[in-house]
Amino acid sequence: MGYTALDQMRKVNRQRFGMDVGPSSPKLIRGGKTGQDLKSAAMRFLHECCEGLRFDPEKEAKEKETGKYLGTSIVAGQIPWNMQKDIDRLCLEHELEVFIDSGVAEDAYTVYYAWMEMFMGEFGRSQKMVELLSEFESNASSLLMKHRDHYSHSVYVFTLGLAIYETHEEYRNTFNRFYGFTEESDNHRAAHFFLAYWGLTSLFHDIGYPFEIPFEQVLAYFEVDQKKRGPGSVYIAYRDIDYLTAMDETATAHFQKLTGRSFSSVPELLAYGIEKRLGKAYGVSEEYLQETIETKPTHPEQFGYFMDHAFFSASRLYQELNAVLGTDRLTEAHLDALTAIMLHNSMYKFVIAFYKDPDKRKAPLKASLHPLAYLLMLCDELQCWDRIAYGRNSRTELHPMCAEFDFSGGGISAVYGYDEEERSKIEAFESEYAEWEKNGENGKVPRLKAYSDMAEKEQRFRTDIEKIVDLTNIPFTVKAVIRKPDRSAKHIYISVSSFLHLYDFAVALNARYTYMGKEADIKTEKLEAEFDSMSLEYKLSNINQAKYFARYLNVIGCFYTDRLVDYPMLKRFNTEQINRFAPLEHERWVIEHKAMGWRYGTLYEKAEKDPAARKALREQLRQNKCCMDSWRSEYEIYRHYDQLPLEMQAKDWRPFNSMLKLIRKFDGLRIYIL
């Protein structure tokens, strides 16, 4: 059924009004077909497997007892609690679908936002933890020799895990048994559990990169002359990292109760967690693991002059969970997420399994030993496509621009697409490789990363993954193809700003209706509090409007940036500009509402005279007189806009001049005229 609380509200409305008036049932993959591909499998997991996500029977019973709803839409008390949770899940499903289609960082941002609001509380409390990762990468990584995006990458990793859990019965059963879900009746609860802890593991596995980037910057500066790092390299190491690794008395007492052991630091906790899962199978002791973990940030020369961001990711995430969720809510599954993150980069590969050393190599990791670590390492390796190359060498290498997956029969068939415009590089490599084979395969094998790792007969890409994780029961194939690039879904414009301003932009957009004429008097704290009081659906609607604003400005020859530029600043939209971008905003609004299950209707206006009751009924019916009932062409949406009453059209443009004044309250962001 998918969205049972929405269906229940529909039954209530049918009884109230004697006809089928909504809400409508959300569709699985808007306007498309489903199959065993990446998008279909991930969408199916959220749509079908996660039925009843975050429902609360006690709140439902209280609503029946009091006759008052406890859920929030625009304001609190408008809809049932479980209906709000269904809409939250639909928000995550919609934002993930948009991201899969585009792959851009702005769309990754809203996936993070939705998941964090659902599973960690208000996004604002943790926003800098994830936003700064993207800021460090985009601003600092161009100074490195090798570096590629880890922000969109993490959301792709998240997506891959959802698809594998949904399609691969053996992995799903292994995960469910590992965490005590043994009955068929547990399936939905197991999926909820997986979404929570896999989301935590995958979305935050690389948040430690802001610690690795400056380390690599220093090495990159000296690698201009000295091309191989090692003795003689100038490098940095970290000291006084107690803030990241310290555990207070409350945490020590909590984990004493949870595990029967007393811990005073995060490395101690991580070593315990890893030894518990892998110690017996790999012959590693807790003491060995703890010493290794503690040494990674302080003596990188002992690890080939590499800094392990995984240590900082796990430590930083522990402190965030401790602060946001509270120590008393941390479980063994949280510890598994932290140890999976600690293991994923180099800890497992080079300290435990030695996967590149034929003499010391140990068996690849089985899912039954640590399901979260297994899936993270698998998906982290698979996700190598559509990643912005920041580093100087990375920009000249050849990496796949797209990928297609087929998960049929519990297998993984991956086809990676390389840019047709890079054919000359590929042909040069193939010619060099053929010559190497002709000469008896003597000397150094020709390489063209990452194309050669997939296309050459050695199949390094596939065989390396098989050395890391056990794929004995997963048919796994990899193929490299050459294709013409399709960037139509990227919606890339001149406007550029940090993610730190995207939230601010959305807050100002939300307030534009309320404070027209009073912008100078209102405090930003009040604007943020009003924004945070709304449901996830309305927060995301404002954020998405902020994302689309770059498109609107592009149409009228303007752009926004948080940098000082020598262009005239836009202080007010004129009539001509408004007439050009207002229909675009209506188009975005119509498509968004259709995707979120809204439909055309005016019953809420006729059935209730009180304004507050009328607004609440609109949310319960999910009806709006500005909606369109079916997917329409751009031309039909524009005609629909032209036919709206002038006062309805004004909602799409009038408040934007107020928004221009409000956005100046937030440091740095300005709109300029080309």
Structure confidence by residue, pLDDT tens digits, 185-197: 899 999 999 999 9
Among candidates 101, 106, 202, which has minimal Cα distance to 155? 202
- pLDDT above 70 covers a percentage of the chain that reads 87
The answer to whether residues 305 and 416 belong to one domain is no
In this structure, are residues 29 and 43 in contact, taking their beta carbons and an 8 Å threshold? Answer: yes
Choice among 194-203, 377-386, 638-647 with the minimum mean pLDDT: 638-647
The answer to whether residues 365 and 265 belong to one domain is yes
More confident residue, 494 or 6: 6
Among candidates 289, 240, 245, 247, which has minimal Cα distance to 264? 247
Residue 622 lies in a domain: no
The answer to whether residues 478 and 351 belong to one domain is no
**pLDDT score at 140:** 53
Would you place residue 582 in the very low, low, confident or very high pLDDT band (cuts 50, 70, 90)?
A: confident
- pLDDT above 90 covers a percentage of the chain that reads 53
Point out which residues pair with 412 in neighbouring strands. Answer: 476
What's the CA gap between 328 and 259, in Å, rounded?
13
Highest-confidence segment of 223-232, 362-371, 483-492: 362-371
3-state secondary structure of 471: coil
The answer to whether residues 315 and 357 belong to one domain is yes
Position 656 pLDDT exceeds 90: no
More confident residue, 378 or 494: 378
Region 178-186: what's the mean pLDDT?
91
What's the CA gap between 225 and 658, in Å, rounded?
54
Position 535 pLDDT exceeds 70: yes
Structure confidence by residue, pLDDT tens digits, 62-89: 999 999 999 999 999 999 999 999 999 9
Position 379 pLDDT exceeds 90: yes
Choice among 49-53, 460-464, 526-530 with the minimum mean pLDDT: 526-530
Region 6-31: what's the mean pLDDT?
89
Among candidates 426, 552, 419, which has minimal Cα distance to 487? 419
Position 55 pLDDT exceeds 50: yes
**pLDDT score at 391:** 41
Region 254-277: what's the mean pLDDT?
96
Among candidates 88, 90, 24, which has minimal Cα distance to 56? 88
**pLDDT score at 212:** 87
The answer to whether residues 387 and 423 belong to one domain is no
Query: What's the domain range around 420?
Result: 403-483
Position 524 pLDDT exceeds 90: no
Query: Over the Cα atoms of the chain, what is R_g?
Result: 26
Residue 213 lies in a domain: yes
**pLDDT score at 184:** 82
Residue environment code for 59-88, b if the CB has 16+ CB neighbours within 10 A, otherwise e: bbeebeeeeebbbbbeeeebbbbbbbbbbb
In this structure, are residues 53 and 89 in contact, taking their beta carbons and an 8 Å threshold? Answer: yes
In this structure, are residues 663 and 672 in contact, taking their beta carbons and an 8 Å threshold? Answer: no
Total domains, the chain: 2
What's the CA gap between 473 and 281, in Å, rounded?
19
What's the CA gap between 616 and 70, in Å, rounded?
12
**pLDDT score at 59:** 97
What's the CA gap between 116 and 195, in Å, rounded?
12
The answer to whether residues 473 and 328 belong to one domain is no
The answer to whether residues 422 and 279 belong to one domain is no
Region 402-430: what's the mean pLDDT?
92
The answer to whether residues 432 and 324 belong to one domain is no
In this structure, are residues 407 and 164 in contact, taking their beta carbons and an 8 Å threshold? Answer: yes
**pLDDT score at 546:** 81
Residue 507 lies in a domain: no
Please count the other Cβ atoms lying within 10 Å of the Cβ belonging to residue 190.
21
More confident residue, 619 or 222: 619
**pLDDT score at 665:** 63
The answer to whether residues 209 and 191 belong to one domain is yes
Region 632-660: what's the mean pLDDT?
76
Sign of CA dihedral 290, 294, 297, 300: negative
**pLDDT score at 253:** 96
Residue 494 lies in a domain: no
Would you place residue 145 in the very low, low, confident or very high pLDDT band (cuts 50, 70, 90)?
A: very low
Residue environment code for 98-120, b if the CB has 16+ CB neighbours within 10 A, otherwise e: bbbebbbbbbbbbbbbbbbbbbb
**pLDDT score at 193:** 98
The answer to whether residues 317 and 456 belong to one domain is no
What's the CA gap between 420 and 123, in Å, rounded?
40
Region 17-26: what's the mean pLDDT?
90
Q: Which string of DSSP letters, residue by residue, matches 58-107?
A: HHHHHHHHHS---EESSSEEEE-HHHHHHHHHHHHHHHHHHHHHH--HHH
Position 147 pLDDT exceeds 80: no
Structure confidence by residue, pLDDT tens digits, 629-645: 776 677 888 888 888 88
Q: Give the residue from 362, 396, 430 where a domain finishes.
A: 396
Structure confidence by residue, pLDDT tens digits, 119-144: 988 655 666 666 665 565 555 544 54
Region 102-118: what's the mean pLDDT?
90
Residue 421 lies in a domain: yes
Residue 234 lies in a domain: yes
The answer to whether residues 339 and 274 belong to one domain is yes
Position 561 pLDDT exceeds 90: no
What's the CA gap between 618 and 79, in Å, rounded?
10
The answer to whether residues 452 and 418 belong to one domain is yes
Mean pLDDT, the chain, rounded, equals 87
Residue 413 lies in a domain: yes
Q: Give the residue from 376, 396, 416 where a domain finishes.
A: 396
**pLDDT score at 390:** 43
Residue 33 lies in a domain: no
Among candidates 150, 533, 84, 529, which has minimal Cα distance to 313? 150
Q: Give the residue from 345, 372, 396 where a domain finishes.
A: 396
Region 467-492: what's the mean pLDDT?
87
